[in-house]
Amino acid sequence: MAARAALQVASDVVDSAARNMASAIFTRRASWLLLSGLSTEAQQLMQDLPFDGQALFAEQTDTKVHGLKDSRTTLKTQELYVPDLEQHQDWQSSLLARASYTATQSRAPGQAGGFHSPAAQQDLAALPPRALVARRHTMESMEPAQITVAVMSTVNTSHIILQYVQNQNLQKQARRRWQRNDESDEDMDTDFSQSTGPGNLDTLVAIGQAHAVEC
C-alpha cells in the first residue's frame, strides 16, 4: 500500500511537471513571435514548426511521461484563458503587455480549483484577440512525446525568427540606400545578395522543418 501511494505521488509530480513544461514552451514561443514584429500569417507558420525530438532532456522525460495513466490528456488540461474581448476594442497595448498573458488550466472563471484572479483577468482583458497566440486544437492533437520535446523547440524557433527579421532589416536598409543614392538595378541586386539568408518566409520554414527531421 505504501509503495502504491508513493508511485501515485511520483506520477502526479511528473504529470504536473509535464503540464508546466507545455505551458512554458507555448508561452515563450508566443512571446518570441509577438515581439518579433512579424505578420500574423508569419507568426502562425512559425508557431506550427516541428519540434527537435533528439534532445537528451526531452528523450529522458518522454520515457517517464509515457508511463502515466493520464499522459494522453496532459495537454488537454491546458489552455489560455481568453476573456470576452469584444467590449475592449479601444485597448492600448505595449510590447510588455502583449507578451504577458497567462496560461491556465481549462476551467471557467470562478470554478472551484481555478486560479483566475481578478488582477489576471483585468490584464488579459487589455489584450487584443490576436495577441493570444494559442491554438487549442493543435495542443489537443499532440501526443505526450511532443509535449516534452516542445521544451527544446524554442531554440530552433528563435533562430529562424532572428534570421528572418535580420534579413528583412538588411533588405530595408538596402532599399533606403538605393533610394538615396539612386543606384542602378544591378547595384540593388548586389545589396540584396549580401543578406544573411533567403528572404522568403516559406524557405525559412522549410529549413526549420528539415532541421527538425534530420535531428
Residue 205 lies in a domain: no
CB atoms within 10 A of CB 62: 21
Contact 197, 204 (CB under 8 A): yes
Q: Which domain does 68 fall in, by range?
A: 2-151
Sign of dihedral through CA atoms 178, 183, 189, 193?
Answer: negative
Task: Please tell me the total count of domains within the chain.
Answer: 1
Contact 29, 158 (CB under 8 A): no
- Over the chain (215 residues), the average pLDDT of each successive run of 10 is 75 70 67 70 64 42 42 36 37 38 38 39 44 42 48 53 69 78 56 47 56 47
Residue 202 lies in a domain: no
Residue 156 lies in a domain: no
- Of 143, 138, 148, the residue nearest 17 (C-alpha): 148
DSSP state of 48: T
Residue 121 lies in a domain: yes
Sign of dihedral through CA atoms 52, 53, 54, 58?
Answer: positive
Supply the pLDDT for residue 209: 53
Distance, in Å, from the CA atom of 68 to the CA atom of 111, rounded to the nearest integer, reads 26
List own/partner pairs for 12-16 with CB under 8 A and 24 or more apart: 14/64, 14/65, 14/68, 15/65, 15/68, 15/70, 15/71, 15/74
Residue 100 lies in a domain: yes
User: H helices within 100-152, ranges in order?
Assistant: 118-125, 136-140, 144-149
Contact 191, 178 (CB under 8 A): yes
- At 22, list the grid cell: 507545455
Residue 212 lies in a domain: no
- At 46, list the grid cell: 512559425
Residue 157 lies in a domain: no
Residue 165 lies in a domain: no
CB atoms within 10 A of CB 39: 10
- At 94, list the grid cell: 505595449
34's CB contacts (< 8 A; 6+ apart) are 43, 95, 98, 99, 131, 133
